[in-house]
Structure 1
Amino acid sequence: MLERFDIQNIESQLDAEGYAVLPECFNAQQARAIAACLDEGRTTSGAEGGESGYFDDGMPPLLNAWREALYRWLVPVANRWNGLAGIDRRFPAELDAFLEINRSAGQHRPQSHLMRLREGERLGLHRHDEGEWIFPLQVVALLNEPKRDFTGGEFVMTEQRPRMQSRPMVAPLGPGDMAIIASAQRPIQGAHGYYRGHLKHAISRVRSGERIGLELVFHHAG
């Protein structure tokens, strides 16, 4: 599943930029099947429009397999980041064990979800930092094709560093691509050691069509 990707290269990109793109993780048939979950379960609408469908324990097997594999792959990075940031918590090797820690800490609300944005809608800047146990990395994915299915709808991030202006970033996502991103903060090396950069992410206004995306979040909210 992840064998074709070089984890050392991905880790270097995460350290340098706070995100790394994994191209073509879902083929067209898989992407359509995942997107169809929006029409099968309960959805909610956001303040700025858009339609979200949150996964509970009924996450499709393909997504559950990706989430478990990605967590296992990223645990060493997450633990190293926490150490550099001066955070004492360390994460277990397997996702099930981590979710049990979440439940013990009162974090019961799943955050992984699909989102549909139609013409004129956007997703404002946000981050997933609710709860005692925050996994510092998460995954986003695009499930349909820019310029064919929609225009606009770029995935954007901002990073706030102490005494500096926010740094904007755009992650170029194609159909079926995933991006590993910092979920709320990451360690950044400065002249006098490491400090914490604070990140948020958003989706710009969809100009036409319909954009369908995915967020896989490893920790639950309180």
Structure 2
Amino acid sequence: MTSSADAFDKLDWSALAAQLDSEGFAVLPRLAGADQARLLAREAGTSTALRRVALDSLDLGCGDLLYFGAALPQPWAQWRADLYRHLAPIANRWNEMLGMPYRFPAQLNEFLERNRRAGQTQAQSHLSQLGTDDYLALHQRSDGEHVFPLQVVVLLSAPGKDFTGGELVLTEQRPRMQSRPTVVPLGLGDAAIIATAQRPFKGSSAYYRVNLRHAISRVRSGERIGGELSFHDAPQAANDQHAFDLDI
């Protein structure tokens, strides 16, 4: 899939919205082509513009996160803006289901301006670099007044060839019930739209909130490179751990 707005416009957003409603995630096959995915993955080892944070310093696993900063490079910046435009109506519908008055603006730049006015200026979009025995623990990025309820996770390495293990794992906690785990299968260049922290779930009489977290299971061999697009920024904090809600 190309990164143009036209390509996103041609997706069946009604079907994607229905899957997000029922499962809390939806897969976008081949967000990046194989060559583009590998080019983006090389940034993890070569770019000096990325801010590297060790996961063990956050008590969040083993491996590294590499933060882009406020100004995302291409194609990440274009993907983020185009995807937001399609996801904002879904986010607003979710808020309506839950009786929440907050509505997200139609364009990403307007939403990020709300973030800035609220003191949310710490960028969260990043690459992840996980080697053998590395993993990313269950967590959610839900800090701040303005939290967008959806985010996008992209796989930039080929499972079974570049690495084994390293599955994207989601958990969903419904009131008075055990957590429900789900493994989301992704191939090279695939992306998953996932719920950031909470989503509506239709009960017997009304919608209620369910709580979600995501993780990457232990990489058994090789190296797994991925990317994560967050549509909201976090409040500035002295420690990166403040931007996470950890499941520990």
Tell me the TM-score normalized by structure 2.
0.87
Secondary structure of the 1:24 match is: coil
1:74 positional shift: 0.6
Tell me if 1:92 matches 2:105.
yes
Amino acid at match of 1:156: V
Q: How does 1:123-202 map to 2 (within 5 A)?
A: 123-202=136-215
* CA distance in 2 between partners of 1:192 and 1:19 (Å): 23
Secondary structure of the 1:218 match is: coil
* CA distance in 2 between partners of 1:165 and 1:74 (Å): 29
* CA distance in 2 between partners of 1:144 and 1:10 (Å): 24
Secondary structure of the 1:108 match is: strand
Q: How does 1:1-222 map to 2 (within 5 A)?
A: 1-38=7-44, 39-40=46-47, 41-47=50-56, 48-222=61-235
* CA distance in 1 between partners of 2:182 and 2:125 (Å): 22
* CA distance in 1 between partners of 2:10 and 2:125 (Å): 25
1:138 positional shift: 0.4
Aligned residue pair count: 222
Secondary structure of the 2:121 match is: coil
Q: 143-152 or 45-54, which moves further after superposition?
A: 45-54
* CA distance in 2 between partners of 1:105 and 1:83 (Å): 22
Q: CA deviation digits over 1:18-62, x for unaligned, max 9?
A: 000000110122112222222213311111221111111331121
Secondary structure of the 1:31 match is: helix
* CA distance in 1 between partners of 2:156 and 2:8 (Å): 18
* CA distance in 1 between partners of 2:230 and 2:53 (Å): 18
| 2:243 alignment counterpart | none
Amino acid at match of 1:45: A
**Which ranges of 4 or more aligned residues in structure 1 deviate by more than 2 Å?**
none
* CA distance in 2 between partners of 1:136 and 1:82 (Å): 9
Runs of 5+ in structure 1 lacking a partner? none
Secondary structure of the 2:65 match is: strand
1:84 positional shift: 1.0
* CA distance in 2 between partners of 1:49 and 1:85 (Å): 36
1:3 positional shift: 3.4
Q: CA deviation digits over 1:78-114, x for unaligned, max 9?
A: 0000111222211000000000000001101011000
* CA distance in 1 between partners of 2:167 and 2:136 (Å): 10
Q: Percent identity?
A: 54
* CA distance in 2 between partners of 1:81 and 1:122 (Å): 31
Tell me the TM-score normalized by structure 1.
0.97
Amino acid at match of 2:75: L
